Amino acid sequence: MGRNDLITGNVWEQYSKKVIDRMNNPKYLGEFSEEEAKEKGLKLVVADFGSEACGDSVRLYWLVDPKTDKIVDARFRSFGCGTAIASSDMMTELTIGKTVDEAMKITNLDVEKALRDDPNTPAFPPQKMHCSVMAYDVIIEAAAKYQGKNADDLRNSEIVCECARVTRKEIEDIVKEHNVKTVEELQKYTDAGKYCKSCVAPGGHEEKPVYLVDIIKDVQEQMKKQNLKNASQTEDFDKMSLIKKIKAIEEFLDTKIKPMLAMDGGSLELLDIREEDGITKVYIRYMGACATCASGGATLLAIEDEIRKFFKSDKIKIEQI
Amino acid sequence: MKAYLDNNSTTPMDKRVKDVYCNATELFGNVNVIYQLGIDARNAMNKAYDILYPGIGADNSDDIIITSSTSEGNNTVIKTFLDAFLKGNGKKHIITTVSEHSSIKGPCAYAKTLGMEVTYLYTDENGRIDLKELENAIREDTALISILYASNESGVIQPIKEISEIARKYNISFHCDGAQAIGKVKINVRELGVDYFTFGAHKFHGPKGVGALYVREGAPYVNLIHGGNLMGGKRSGSVYLNGMIAMAEALKLANENLDLINTKISKLRDRLEEAILQIPDTKSYIDKKYRLPNTVVASFRGIEGESMLWDLNVNGIYAATGSSCSSERLEGSEVLEALGEDPEIAHTGIIFSLSRFTTQEEIDYVIEKLPGIVERLRDISMTYAKVAPK
């Protein structure tokens, strides 16, 4: 938040002159017919993306030279807002003269950049970035048709934020590198989730298979486990200070043992850890279903075994209270 | 030429109201001081109340609390019942409708986070609620029914008097958000039998930043703004005196001009509606007898609402999509979908709302421009494309 967020509703005044001009006078509006293509010895490709029920859709027409795979000419029609129409127009222009393979590399980010008046000022406000995403998708649809492939196979399925085109891997790397815990922290390093915000968390404009909040949670979980593993591998348990032992065992119980017990409706509580005669004694109390379980004793031995294996030490003993 | 046809959103100030408003700024004395400047200010307040009380048919034993907006009044009402619930009166249920303004839905959502329960009544193809459904929704622990008089966007009018009778029968408090109705429909709160009635001056050619909350004598009330002794201690904060005076003047003028809305303006509205329906693949919604006399709700197949607003704007015509598509949020089409329209048509909805200042020239201008706008946008639209993918 801040001054800029206090005045809401500002959309059209953030459009570049190019966006306004393309909305008012689209240059590549129109369509080609099969006859026209045949006359010129070219292949007609027609592809759709989006739907009117969702509020925006685009249809792309290509005339492709089958000998060179080059897109000789292109047109579009679109159902959508000003940004959708201007982006469709620019996208159509950008594909002309390229081979189908080259065109597939065009993304909504390229379209948005091409629509800027000034290289440092976005062509439209962040929430409208969403409307340009279909520019990328419809090219993939058209390319798939031309090449006789499945569009889903050509698409980068690892993209989590379509507006900013950020992949899951890129987000995971940032979370790991900067120990990111919230979406706000994440956005210091990436534009993911800054535009239409659908990918941030459930409940946005579009449903997503995975959200930024999930990825952050998953990676944080992995990192926790990794740290634990590293700790056990790098440091000799028997030589750890008592504090370190307590922390390591507590984390081990939380991440390895408790989730296992929880599957049977049980749990345990760590009561104390003491060092006696060179043995580390871990005092626990069973809770939930474990408290009344007949095989509690066997489970205790199994837990002890796990802990000993994990910390590579046989000088650990578990005591039930 | 320009044509402002978004009067359900807000209205321009009447010139006479503007004069009253500007002159009243001279009355700068604190309304609570005992010396002459306070006496002058209080006299002016009294004169404004002389218009406001009969203007909405309130009894002098009732309260008309001057607020900053309809939203403030709406929040005060919902939070009065939230307060009682939090203090343990056991009444946790509110009944309202899907067509309420965000200033009802917002505080209801907030009340839910604190343990209250809210039933949202659905509306039919005319945008009206079903009274039987309302009765079925009533529970032992229902504290409040809150239903708007006329929809903020589509202008659908709800059967307030009948709802009020049902509320009375079950001894449940009833609030009516009158923001969209006042100035277009004669309001008599006592005859309607409502416990609370809220409105804001800017919807009937008054200034922005001032509104009123009617509270029937004896109805529960808890302050939203605590502090000094203004409004009998019920709403703190310096009284926006020139706003209040201007609101009273605006209400007087609106009530005097109700006939104009129902005759001349309603005819202009019909003229516009007929012209729209002359264009192929268009549709209008809501039976006129259930709709405010100033409103047209229409769809234009193949033309997404925001792009329609764009071309209207280029031509100096200002209307609404009835969705938030053109704002920060992207969800559109809520109004038409609520009326049962298919999603792909719902995104093409446009709402034109006239005021008593709308002229025949403005409507003729819109009628002249519309076919060309529709033609250009349909030429862009893929709905009307000849060649489709195979």
**Domain ranges, residue A174:** 166-234
Chain B positions touching A145 (Cβ under 8 A) are 389
Task: Please say if the pLDDT value at position A9 is more than 90.
Answer: no
Domain final position from A106, A122, A155: A155
- The ipTM of this complex is 0.88
List the single residue in B with minimal CA-CA distance to A88. Answer: B380
Task: Please say if the pLDDT value at position B325 is more than 50.
Answer: no
Chain B positions touching A196 (Cβ under 8 A) are 330
CATH number at residue A112: 3.90.1010.10
Residue A232 banded pLDDT, cuts 50, 70, 90:
low
The string of pLDDT tens digits covering residues A121-134 is: 999 998 888 888 88
Q: Strands, E, within chain B: which ranges?
A: 3-4, 63-67, 93-97, 117-121, 142-146, 173-177, 196-200, 211-215, 282-284, 295-300, 317-318, 349-353
Our CA dihedral for B136, B137, B143, B147, rounded to 10 degrees, sits at -110
Position A16 scores a pLDDT of 97
Q: Is A29 on the interface with B (CB under 8 A)?
A: yes
Asked if A45 and A150 sit in the same domain, the reply is: yes
B378: closest CA of chain A, how far (Å): 9
Residues 6+ apart with CB under 8 A from A41: A65
Chain B positions touching A54 (Cβ under 8 A) are 343
Average pLDDT over every residue of A81-94: 95
Contact B101, B77 (CB under 8 A): no
Residue whose tokens read 């201008």: B365
Angle A192-A198-A201 from CA coordinates, rounded to 5°: 90
B75: enclosing H helix or E strand: helix B70-86
Contact: A23, B310; criterion CB under 8 Å: yes
Chain A positions touching B307 (Cβ under 8 A) are 23, 80-82, 84-85
Asked if A229 and A243 sit in the same domain, the reply is: no
Average pLDDT over every residue of B1-14: 96
Domain final position from A155, A182, A197: A155
Average pLDDT over every residue of A242-265: 86
Domain final position from A234, A264, A279: A234
Contact B212, B67 (CB under 8 A): yes
CA B215 and chain centroid, separation: 18
B312: closest CA of chain A, how far (Å): 12
A162: closest CA of chain B, how far (Å): 16
Note the pTM of the prediction, 2 decimals: 0.82
Position A227 scores a pLDDT of 81
B207: enclosing H helix or E strand: none
Q: Is B380 on the interface with A (CB under 8 A)?
A: yes
Q: Which residue has the higher pLDDT, A165 or B71?
A: B71
The string of pLDDT tens digits covering residues B353-376 is: 999 999 999 999 999 999 999 999
Taking the C-alpha atoms of residue B218 and residue B206, their distance in angstroms, rounded to an integer, is 29
A44: closest CA of chain B, how far (Å): 10
Asked if A192 and A62 sit in the same domain, the reply is: no
- Nearest in space to A151 (alpha carbons), one of A134, A166, A163, A172: A134
Average pLDDT over every residue of A9-37: 94
Position A215 scores a pLDDT of 92
**B325 flagged as catalytic:** yes
Position A126 scores a pLDDT of 86
Q: Given the DSSP bridges, would you call strands A279-288 and A266-276 parallel, antiparallel or unpaired? A: antiparallel
Taking the C-alpha atoms of residue B379 and residue B385, their distance in angstroms, rounded to an integer, is 8
> What average pLDDT is seen over chain B?
94
Contact B290, B158 (CB under 8 A): no
Judge whether A194 lies within some domain.
yes
- The number of domains in chain A is 3
Asked if A54 and A133 sit in the same domain, the reply is: yes
Contact: A85, B325; criterion CB under 8 Å: no
Asked if A7 and A144 sit in the same domain, the reply is: yes
How would you write B236-277 as a 3-class SS string? CCCCCHHHHHHHHHHHHHHHHCHHHHHHHHHHHHHHHHHHHH
Contact: A32, B382; criterion CB under 8 Å: no
User: Which tokens in the block code for residue A151?
Assistant: 């569009």
Position B324 scores a pLDDT of 47
Q: How many CB atoms lie within 10 A of CB B121?
A: 21
Which DSSP state fits B8?
T
Long-range contacts formed by A113-120: CB under 8 A, 24+ apart:
A114/A18, A114/A90, A115/A16, A115/A18, A115/A19, A115/A22, A115/A86, A115/A87, A115/A90, A116/A16, A116/A18, A117/A16, A117/A17, A117/A18, A118/A16
Please state at what angle helix A212-234 crosses helix A242-252, rounded to 10 degrees. Answer: 130
User: Which tokens in the block code for residue B299?
Assistant: 């769809």
Angle B388-B378-B321 from CA coordinates, rounded to 5°: 120
Position A136 scores a pLDDT of 85
Contact: A33, B389; criterion CB under 8 Å: no
Taking the C-alpha atoms of residue A248 and residue A242, their distance in angstroms, rounded to an integer, is 10
Task: Please say if the pLDDT value at position B328 is more than 60.
Answer: no
Asked if A227 and A245 sit in the same domain, the reply is: no
Chain A positions touching B385 (Cβ under 8 A) are 31, 59, 77
Judge whether A160 lies within some domain.
no
Reading phi first (left if > 0) and then psi (alpha if -120 to 50, else beta), residue B2 is in: beta
Contact: A196, B343; criterion CB under 8 Å: no
Taking the C-alpha atoms of residue B346 and residue B325, their distance in angstroms, rounded to an integer, is 12
Average pLDDT over every residue of B190-201: 98
B152: closest CA of chain A, how far (Å): 18
Asked if A241 and A316 sit in the same domain, the reply is: yes
Position B333 scores a pLDDT of 60
For chain A, the straight-line distance linking the first and the last C-alpha, in angstroms and rounded, comes to: 52
Which DSSP state fits A182?
S
Asked if A193 and A291 sit in the same domain, the reply is: no
Question: In chain B, which among 308-347 make CB contacts under 8 A with chain A?
Answer: 310, 313-314, 325-333, 342-344, 347
Chain B positions touching A84 (Cβ under 8 A) are 304, 307
Taking the C-alpha atoms of residue B278 and residue B273, their distance in angstroms, rounded to an integer, is 9
Q: Is A46 on the interface with B (CB under 8 A)?
A: yes
Active-site position among A81, A131, A199, A293: A131
Residues 6+ apart with CB under 8 A from B228: B32, B236, B237
Q: Which domains does chain B have, with CATH numbers?
A: 15-256 (3.40.640.10), 258-379 (3.90.1150.10)
Q: Is A258 on the interface with B (CB under 8 A)?
A: no
List the single residue in A with minimal CA-CA distance to B341. Answer: A53
Residue whose tokens read 């007949």: A294
Residue B278 banded pLDDT, cuts 50, 70, 90:
very high
For chain B, the straight-line distance linking the first and the last C-alpha, in angstroms and rounded, comes to: 46
Judge whether A81 lies within some domain.
yes
Residue A278 banded pLDDT, cuts 50, 70, 90:
confident
Judge whether A161 lies within some domain.
no
Asked if A191 and A127 sit in the same domain, the reply is: no
List the single residue in B with minimal CA-CA distance to A58. Answer: B382
Chain B positions touching A11 (Cβ under 8 A) are 326-328
**Chain A to chain B Cβ contacts (< 8 Å):** 97
Contact B64, B87 (CB under 8 A): no
Q: Letter for the amino acid at A19?
A: V
Task: Please name the member of B314, B333, B380 whose beta carbon is closest to the beta carbon of A29.
Answer: B380
Task: Please say if the pLDDT value at position A276 is more than 80.
Answer: yes
List the single residue in B with minimal CA-CA distance to A62. Answer: B389
Question: Is B381 in a helix, a strand, or coil?
Answer: coil
Instruction: Give strand pairing partners of A288.
Output: A266
Chain A positions touching B347 (Cβ under 8 A) are 52-53, 55
A288: closest CA of chain B, how far (Å): 29
Contact: A80, B310; criterion CB under 8 Å: no
The string of pLDDT tens digits covering residues B339-358 is: 888 888 989 999 999 999 99
Mutate which of A27, A31, A63, A79 to test chain B, going by most B C-beta atoms within 10 A?
A79
Q: Is A59 on the interface with B (CB under 8 A)?
A: yes
Residue B327 banded pLDDT, cuts 50, 70, 90:
very low
Taking the C-alpha atoms of residue B269 and residue B258, their distance in angstroms, rounded to an integer, is 15
Q: How many CB atoms lie within 10 A of CB A21?
A: 16
Long-range contacts formed by A164-173: CB under 8 A, 24+ apart:
A164/A109, A164/A129, A164/A190, A164/A191, A164/A192, A164/A193, A164/A194, A164/A195, A165/A107, A165/A108, A165/A109, A165/A136, A166/A190, A166/A191, A166/A192, A168/A210, A168/A215, A171/A212, A171/A215, A171/A216, A172/A215, A172/A219
Q: Is A23 on the interface with B (CB under 8 A)?
A: yes
Angle B308-A8-B238 from CA coordinates, rounded to 5°: 125
Which DSSP state fits A157?
T
The string of pLDDT tens digits covering residues B53-64 is: 999 999 999 999
Q: Is A38 on the interface with B (CB under 8 A)?
A: no
Task: Please say if the pLDDT value at position B270 is more than 80.
Answer: yes
Task: Please say if the pLDDT value at position B326 is more than 80.
Answer: no
Question: Is A133 in a helix, a strand, or coil?
Answer: helix
Taking the C-alpha atoms of residue A204 and residue A212, their distance in angstroms, rounded to an integer, is 12
Task: Please say if the pLDDT value at position B28 is more than 90.
Answer: yes
Average pLDDT over every residue of B74-87: 98
Position A5 scores a pLDDT of 79
Contact: A78, B386; criterion CB under 8 Å: no
Asked if A227 and A241 sit in the same domain, the reply is: no
CATH number at residue A284: 3.30.300.130
Residue B236 banded pLDDT, cuts 50, 70, 90:
very high
Task: Please name the member of B306, B313, B389 whose beta carbon is closest to the beta carbon of A81.
Answer: B306
Taking the C-alpha atoms of residue A11 and residue B327, their distance in angstroms, rounded to an integer, is 7
Contact: A81, B304; criterion CB under 8 Å: yes
List the single residue in A with minimal CA-CA distance to B314. Answer: A24
B300: closest CA of chain A, how far (Å): 12
Our CA dihedral for A156, A161, A166, A169, rounded to 10 degrees, sits at -80
Asked if A265 and A191 sit in the same domain, the reply is: no
A159: closest CA of chain B, how far (Å): 21
Task: Please say if the pLDDT value at position A262 is more than 90.
Answer: no
Judge whether A246 lies within some domain.
yes
Position A290 scores a pLDDT of 80
| Poorest-pLDDT segment among B125-134, B217-226, B305-314, B327-336 | B327-336
Position B329 scores a pLDDT of 42
User: Which tokens in the block code for residue B292?
Assistant: 């405010």
Asked if A16 and A135 sit in the same domain, the reply is: yes
Q: Is A31 on the interface with B (CB under 8 A)?
A: yes
